[in-house]
Structure 1
């Protein structure tokens, strides 16, 4: 690959806009307004900071009482240490489950403070998503419903039980239907409780409803193979992966699992064996998965089905009607080449699509059947149970409501008043129901309309189990007593069904004693305690069988063509609605860690937006930040424009999960609701539409982006190579291909002695997908504060690790010389065809740290273990160190986010203080802070080894960013140990050091990004 390739973080940096140039003249973020300094508040009058997190509702003392009440020993068993041995200052670890994934919960003095993946989990092998990491903060949200309610008034549980029993009896006597509406339930015990409820009230029907639906795949498998299941995909067995709009690394089905699988064929181990999978992505908007593809081609949503028809014809040698040329000539040519590659990898190929259209997914099944994928890369015999929503059932349920045939509805983890595309139709129909019950632990949009609110526990307060994939079972156990006067939803259902087993803990025990534990000869207390310690059980998987496709493809093709034509209307734009990695379907919109997590692609925080191609923005006369009104399917929103390289021309993408009005004070009115853009067609919810109108409103709303907050002044920090070049020379792209220049030969600094430990890190750019889980994990571990949208816009975000996203033009057009000469960057032709590289950037712990030499008070110094350390109580906030840091990884505390009572609205309050890690100092106003390499974990590991009178083992200490990474992209350890994993990683020919020419001797080595371009390289 071209070593002179130009990389850029954002269009303002590429085009050197006046605003960008002016901001980067000033090394530091925007100063505090003089009027605020004179007032002594340090606060912006425009946005009162006192009303942020405390007013947002993160403050209550009830958690302290819950933490002080020890969970009964006979019920809750820690992962490593028994509860009776709880010692102040010593952490306990409990096994539990988050959405079917086995996890470990760290508690201190009875309060959960951190969630980690369980190393034995089959999904991520110890990794955990950003949402999983942030889930612990939801426990400490004072916006949670604190007492049950009847008709909006607080009530006692006996009152609620009497009221609901009386109403259910009346509904049953009337003969009207009862419905339990839930998001997908894959808990054996919960399903048992629901079955018992149905037995008590025979007119009851359980409806699975998922805001983001996979009904299309499930129904397509029923049509194709007679199995209505969601497959278990094996990306690790695929040598060629082709995705049509499926963001399988970001939000599609099981991203953490797919990330681990995907990276296993692309990381250092795979490359050293001279093996690397091929990944080609066709999509409208730039997704996280698209940024990681070897080749990516933007196509309109209306063309996805057409492209699949062309691919099927090329593979099968047939001529299904409807295939035609795509508007993107490069994508059209690629289809033929992709077909050849898939056929060459028969049995080790995988084609996936993100569409929820049954016909589209049926055609995908036909393609995979031709490629011999079933039984290899696709498993129908050990299916996923993560999504079981049935769109047709839910639409039928709304019709029943409207007809007045339903007498009672119970909502569990479902919020259709917000995320059903015809919310008004639903809410109007709901008024006809005699009894409505919500189990929501927040007063969400549906709970506000319910006559009874029976608030559920947070999952960290609950008992339960999960069966997310056939044969894989995890257990949920409480790590703290209930903070508020809540009750587990299953317990409520048992009471209302007048079940002889009223206690849900006993019910779960019975489920396991009579089921899996009994089969394994482990029933009884001993078996139960063993289960709680392990947290999971893996049954032997069934043999994955091969399946022959059987369906009329001519009818399928016609349906696809009709669907495509319905999206094409003259020169109208097409709309694509998608999930963002941080916000998902919006259930966790009240979580500030997630709101402040920069989107992996756009780097936008605290908002959604209309992503458009640069070409379209130029033609229409828009500018980034212009608020436009977008209308489709009879609904409209006003959102700011974002210029997105790689966006298909003629399309607009908007994320769902925003626009909540009853999420809590963090999430209320953040962004706009895009769910009403959905439509219902052929039995499924569709996520694409024709935009009937869009126009500028005259309002400008700048987005809070972090992508160009830090500049390297044009220095090269990214290095890439093609797989072809790598196979010829493993050092390709690293700068070590020939004679390596020794930048450390001459130095102005003395070397530091590191006699025992030399802590260093290796980051594999080929493994890092850019998901951002490490950012949230670092925030949770190191007490990093949330600052809010306005402060992010001022470049004051506090994250210790950031994921820099770099674009580069693929070599199909403009040279760097042309870019330099062309003042109007929007006229360049290749913004549709860009490559992306993600680079985690944190303090490099330089051996010759430039920050250390300029600190006048020795607040930052070098340790004898190779770490750049901070003495916060010495720091006087000169910011010389930040100015002298070439990596721009130091953060300045503008405010006392945690410790100053004036900032109770942020994070300083009783409630959120309880999520703080007591092993990490909370920083105060006027000091610098930055990554410490989780020094508290280093010290704890060393102390444990010392107490046990043994040497420290490699891998025993994992920093927070490393531990949560499903891709194992980050390796940390002792460079003095030549056999350590990090030492071996840094000896790779792909290793290079960012800005090593400055001779600061960084302690973090990066491995070159390798792309498997194959035939499409040309």
Structure 2
């Protein structure tokens, strides 16, 4: 067995790796100094800013259902039982793709979103954005009414204005829209272009698909969508493409599902794909790679061209690259990848990040075709709503038209270019030249304040709509509740502009679908509503070939490829707030970013080597005071906190956008740094020759990466596929630990099978035979570290947001933490992820020390908390070796949220099946006991009381149901045929801190990688 498997050296941060005096002092206490008191005065107003939408259901959300589906009743219908939730299929739009969802409704209000198992884009799972949409809808900072020149108006007044203003169909009109796949929306778009003779329509997304579409146009002569089927590939090569991250890829849920399906290893005889990542920033996707190469983003282009040149010697279609040479031509990765790709023709995928220029997308598409991957592991789809123009060039042209007074009316549908447009366009000033500006948006945001008319937009959970998934599955979006603030949807908005009158969204959508369902419309419509999708149709797969013009164009752009000199700046969407549209969501702001574990801020990421050269020190512990740097690009300078990220490329700095907003909402305002000023039309995503200096200032960052440390114990076990085959039991207790460890040594000395217990064993509890016994297993081989389990748990279990100040003190309330470990060299480590919920120990240390028996064992084997009995001694947290118990320091739900008012109003915002906790109690993962009990009751009813044991799969915890990697197994341990029992019998199964003999009911499957030995 290798030394790496036997005695790994995992570390969470540079401080832990150094184990200096500061670190030792920090870990002496579970909580930072002054953790027992809140010394800062927190006004109700300041706390509301932190909590944002968590307080939204102050009475206005009850019983407001769409009139098309729900009518008031004086007699309870047979199919409705108060207290039993109802579920409706719908679809969640994100950019121009929808994901199938199922929405849980309680007493007429949606409370939880899950994936739709029948929908191919979700297969029953969601992303962090999908989970957080509930909070977006209930956000009290959303725009509440129509404004005309800043004064309150109405939709009817706007309709009257449109009837008069748009009667002149010859005026110059510019429509600026977010990406949208809705067939109804695009029908209205086509109608607008026909109706107004001098209209232009521009789809503007700060981080869109335009480069990828233009790349396929260069390679094949038409704009096609690349659809990677990761489950059908034996070799995957990613060039700066973070395809597992929902902020970087709108199809991340399906990508994760397909990717992990090909990585699932249940025996030493199984095979798995091999994944190579070439990237600058250490991404979620890169952390799951078998082999990872860190290079500057500006060098990705040279690397791809060098690989194409090497492949051109063996495949046809790449003649333009023949004989080409650059600094990477002799790189060992180029020769290794060439060999791998040639050995796996038709079964490989090459993909490049959508931020890279079209020429790189064209080259990668040409390589895929040359290798025969098209029609196999890669499809190229004909997307009916894709624009044929380059929208970024068109948007820059619009700014020029505005400056030349060539635009009469600007209609903005959901976009916020005053905040997100390239800085050199001065779009805010350009927009002032339009005679009329009309804006539909969720918030009265930066662009709304410049508009003559602002229309408040309905959330998709409040409005009728439709859309296509990434691959073309057609779905209906049906509302779950009447618009809370009487907002209108984008299709109702466009209809008013076109027709000058209000029409219900339901009727507008049905008008579109009448042409789709030509026979027996009502039954087919109702079936689509019920299922959440309209059949199994998808976009047409194009038959592609490398165009004759490609090689001549390729000769031009490879000759213009320049080596990346000096310091570069990489600009990315943020992994939690995206381009800023989710900045006012408290759940997402408090969600630790997957690789840095930073909350409530954005930073400038850099490697340890780069930081040393700049004289920047790494972050401290607890309240992380970090140094602030100034970044100058083309004369524009901004200051931002610096963060040392192990594994980041040298001479490269990565920043994210979406922060530093003003006047939008209590959560978003003055949170983080606005980095959009560094984006220009020439530097949308990358800038070279960047100037970086220290400012001498410091800034406090709230990061959870050093919280709840376990003192260097070996918590995560992993091996290579070859090592697993040679030693299938590598993860067992005996294999993973040295014989000198106290627990093993004691057991060997006394001839016992079990290791030494950390307390005197007591008689084990006897459980009733008719009760199920619950357990969980987490497969680290498929877990990608995306964190959706954490936010799903937050949504399901009414977990409060505590804010940056409290997080920096180690008081975050998440019941599941996602540990991120580094292994190896500080400059180029491997990264591994491990979700850690409550272990539900059979011999639970917490139960031994509670003086009031607030934490006990249930009849079905769960470690349960009795909140009314807890007096807050925190002995249980001190005695928990897994550090998974959370103490509620303050009464977030009463004293701060309502100023002492009746807390029952606030509870309307929450899951009614879960207790709202109060100050001074301990809380933790409950295995979603409310779901368990619901299933037990239903099973008892179905069997006339004969058994309370639900069938396998009848209970899914919130984290399990949300996980797109299907990494979490949960079920009855007394059922030998259950998935969780089969998983626990796997030879990779192990218990966390098994040497303590707590006998956890949650176990793990050790991680297996499949690296190329030539690059190991």
TM-score, structure 1 normalization: 0.91
- 2:316 equivalent in structure 1: none
The structural deviation recorded for 1:511 is 1.4
- Write the distance in 2 (CA, Å) between the matches of 1:64 and 1:1013: 56
Does the C-alpha gap of structure 1 residues 793 and 431 become closer, same or farther in structure 2, counting only changes over 3 Å?
same
Q: Which residue of the other structure, out of 282, 287, 294, is the alignment partner of 1:286?
A: 282
Does the C-alpha gap of structure 1 residues 673 and 1016 become closer, same or farther in structure 2, counting only changes over 3 Å?
farther
- Structure 2 unmatched ranges of 5 or more: 314-318, 619-625, 748-752
- 1:323 equivalent in structure 2: 325
- 1:827 equivalent in structure 2: none
RMSD value, Cα: 2.6
- Write the distance in 2 (CA, Å) between the matches of 1:168 and 1:55: 42
- Write the distance in 2 (CA, Å) between the matches of 1:802 and 1:299: 30
- 1:608 equivalent in structure 2: 602
The structural deviation recorded for 1:266 is 0.5
- 2:587 equivalent in structure 1: 593
User: In 2, are the aligned partners of 1:893 and 1:927 still within 8 Å (CA)?
Assistant: yes
After TM superposition, the structure 1 = structure 2 runs for residues 209-358 of structure 1, keeping only pairs within 5 Å, are 209-250=204-245, 251-269=248-266, 274-317=270-313, 320=322, 323-326=325-328, 332-354=331-353, 355-358=355-358
- Write the distance in 2 (CA, Å) between the matches of 1:63 and 1:857: 35
- Write the distance in 2 (CA, Å) between the matches of 1:246 and 1:384: 25
- Write the distance in 2 (CA, Å) between the matches of 1:59 and 1:995: 36
- Write the distance in 2 (CA, Å) between the matches of 1:546 and 1:492: 38
Does the C-alpha gap of structure 1 residues 12 and 897 become closer, same or farther in structure 2, counting only changes over 3 Å?
same
User: In 1, are the aligned partners of 2:65 and 2:109 still within 8 Å (CA)?
Assistant: no
Matched, 1:778 2:774: no
Q: Which residue of the other structure, out of 89, 92, 117, is the alignment partner of 1:95?
A: 89
- 1:14 equivalent in structure 2: 17
User: In 2, are the aligned partners of 1:309 and 1:320 still within 8 Å (CA)?
Assistant: no
The SS at the match of 1:952 is: coil
After TM superposition, the structure 1 = structure 2 runs for residues 406-421 of structure 1, keeping only pairs within 5 Å, are 406-421=407-422
Does the C-alpha gap of structure 1 residues 57 and 609 become closer, same or farther in structure 2, counting only changes over 3 Å?
closer
User: In 1, are the aligned partners of 2:780 and 2:1007 still within 8 Å (CA)?
Assistant: yes
The SS at the match of 1:372 is: coil
Matched, 1:367 2:380: no
- Write the distance in 1 (CA, Å) between the matches of 2:397 and 2:269: 54
- Write the distance in 2 (CA, Å) between the matches of 1:423 and 1:411: 20
- 1:562 equivalent in structure 2: 560
User: In 1, are the aligned partners of 2:577 and 2:583 still within 8 Å (CA)?
Assistant: yes
Matched, 1:144 2:142: yes
The structural deviation recorded for 1:409 is 1.2
The structural deviation recorded for 1:535 is 1.1
Does the C-alpha gap of structure 1 residues 734 and 364 become closer, same or farther in structure 2, counting only changes over 3 Å?
farther
Please give the per-residue CA displacement for 1:145-196, whole angstroms capped at 9, x wherever unaligned: 11100000001222222223333335x4xx4311221111100011112223
Does the C-alpha gap of structure 1 residues 500 and 161 become closer, same or farther in structure 2, counting only changes over 3 Å?
closer
The SS at the match of 2:512 is: helix
The SS at the match of 2:310 is: helix
User: In 2, are the aligned partners of 1:899 and 1:908 still within 8 Å (CA)?
Assistant: yes
User: In 2, are the aligned partners of 1:137 and 1:912 still within 8 Å (CA)?
Assistant: no
- 1:1014 equivalent in structure 2: 1012
The structural deviation recorded for 1:48 is 4.3
- 1:964 equivalent in structure 2: 962
The structural deviation recorded for 1:663 is 3.0
User: In 2, are the aligned partners of 1:240 and 1:348 still within 8 Å (CA)?
Assistant: yes
Matched, 1:793 2:818: no
User: In 2, are the aligned partners of 1:611 and 1:647 still within 8 Å (CA)?
Assistant: yes
Please give the per-residue CA displacement for 1:289-329, whole angstroms capped at 9, x wherever unaligned: 011101111101121011001111222227546532249x9
The structural deviation recorded for 1:853 is 0.2
- 2:509 equivalent in structure 1: 508
Does the C-alpha gap of structure 1 residues 522 and 697 become closer, same or farther in structure 2, counting only changes over 3 Å?
farther
- 2:763 equivalent in structure 1: 750
- Write the distance in 2 (CA, Å) between the matches of 1:834 and 1:55: 35
Please give the per-residue CA displacement for 1:584-631, whole angstroms capped at 9, x wherever unaligned: 121111000000000000000000101111112122221131011111
- 2:436 equivalent in structure 1: 435
Does the C-alpha gap of structure 1 residues 276 and 221 become closer, same or farther in structure 2, counting only changes over 3 Å?
same
- 2:720 equivalent in structure 1: 722
- Write the distance in 1 (CA, Å) between the matches of 2:371 and 2:215: 17
- Write the distance in 2 (CA, Å) between the matches of 1:770 and 1:165: 52
User: In 2, are the aligned partners of 1:615 and 1:649 still within 8 Å (CA)?
Assistant: yes
Does the C-alpha gap of structure 1 residues 753 and 385 become closer, same or farther in structure 2, counting only changes over 3 Å?
farther
Q: Which residue of the other structure, out of 924, 932, 936, is the alignment partner of 1:930?
A: 924
Please give the per-residue CA displacement for 1:269-302, whole angstroms capped at 9, x wherever unaligned: 5x56521001111111101101110111110112
- 1:24 equivalent in structure 2: 27
- Write the distance in 2 (CA, Å) between the matches of 1:575 and 1:604: 20
- Write the distance in 2 (CA, Å) between the matches of 1:988 and 1:909: 47
- Structure 1 unmatched ranges of 5 or more: 810-829
Please give the per-residue CA displacement for 1:70-95, whole angstroms capped at 9, x wherever unaligned: 43354799xxxx98843321111111
Does the C-alpha gap of structure 1 residues 628 and 213 become closer, same or farther in structure 2, counting only changes over 3 Å?
same
- Write the distance in 2 (CA, Å) between the matches of 1:637 and 1:538: 51
After TM superposition, the structure 1 = structure 2 runs for residues 684-763 of structure 1, keeping only pairs within 5 Å, are 686-735=684-733, 742-743=753-754, 748-754=761-767, 755=769, 756-763=771-778
Matched, 1:192 2:190: no
Does the C-alpha gap of structure 1 residues 287 and 55 become closer, same or farther in structure 2, counting only changes over 3 Å?
closer
The SS at the match of 2:445 is: coil
- Write the distance in 2 (CA, Å) between the matches of 1:29 and 1:281: 38
- 1:401 equivalent in structure 2: 402
Q: Which 10-residue stretch deviates more, 702-711 or 931-940? A: 702-711
- Write the distance in 1 (CA, Å) between the matches of 2:70 and 2:854: 48
- Write the distance in 2 (CA, Å) between the matches of 1:541 and 1:158: 39
- 1:891 equivalent in structure 2: 886
- Write the distance in 1 (CA, Å) between the matches of 2:146 and 2:112: 28
User: In 2, are the aligned partners of 1:440 and 1:456 still within 8 Å (CA)?
Assistant: yes
The structural deviation recorded for 1:98 is 0.4
Q: Which residue of the other structure, out of 923, 938, 958, is the alignment partner of 1:944?
A: 938
- Write the distance in 2 (CA, Å) between the matches of 1:946 and 1:384: 50
Does the C-alpha gap of structure 1 residues 653 and 726 become closer, same or farther in structure 2, counting only changes over 3 Å?
same
Please give the per-residue CA displacement for 1:360-386, whole angstroms capped at 9, x wherever unaligned: 111111211221111112111465979
- Write the distance in 2 (CA, Å) between the matches of 1:961 and 1:613: 33
The SS at the match of 2:832 is: strand
After TM superposition, the structure 1 = structure 2 runs for residues 161-176 of structure 1, keeping only pairs within 5 Å, are 161-169=159-167, 172=169, 175-176=170-171
The SS at the match of 1:268 is: coil
- 2:912 equivalent in structure 1: 918
Q: Which 10-residue stretch deviates more, 784-793 or 310-319? A: 310-319
Please give the per-residue CA displacement for 1:747-766, whole angstroms capped at 9, x wherever unaligned: 71222223331100010001
Please give the per-residue CA displacement for 1:414-461, whole angstroms capped at 9, x wherever unaligned: 111111112761111111111111110211111111110111111110
User: In 2, are the aligned partners of 1:126 and 1:964 still within 8 Å (CA)?
Assistant: yes
Does the C-alpha gap of structure 1 residues 912 and 674 become closer, same or farther in structure 2, counting only changes over 3 Å?
farther
Does the C-alpha gap of structure 1 residues 745 and 623 become closer, same or farther in structure 2, counting only changes over 3 Å?
closer
After TM superposition, the structure 1 = structure 2 runs for residues 472-871 of structure 1, keeping only pairs within 5 Å, are 472-498=473-499, 502-515=503-516, 517-518=517-518, 521-524=519-522, 526-541=523-538, 544=541, 546-550=543-547, 551-553=549-551, 555-556=553-554, 558-560=556-558, 562-565=560-563, 567-568=564-565, 572-624=566-618, 625-681=626-682, 686-735=684-733, 742-743=753-754, 748-754=761-767, 755=769, 756-809=771-824, 830-871=825-866
- 1:823 equivalent in structure 2: none
Please give the per-residue CA displacement for 1:610-669, whole angstroms capped at 9, x wherever unaligned: 111111212222113101111113322211111100011111011122222243110122
User: In 2, are the aligned partners of 1:113 and 1:916 still within 8 Å (CA)?
Assistant: yes
Does the C-alpha gap of structure 1 residues 1013 and 446 become closer, same or farther in structure 2, counting only changes over 3 Å?
same
- Write the distance in 1 (CA, Å) between the matches of 2:384 and 2:195: 30
The structural deviation recorded for 1:832 is 2.6
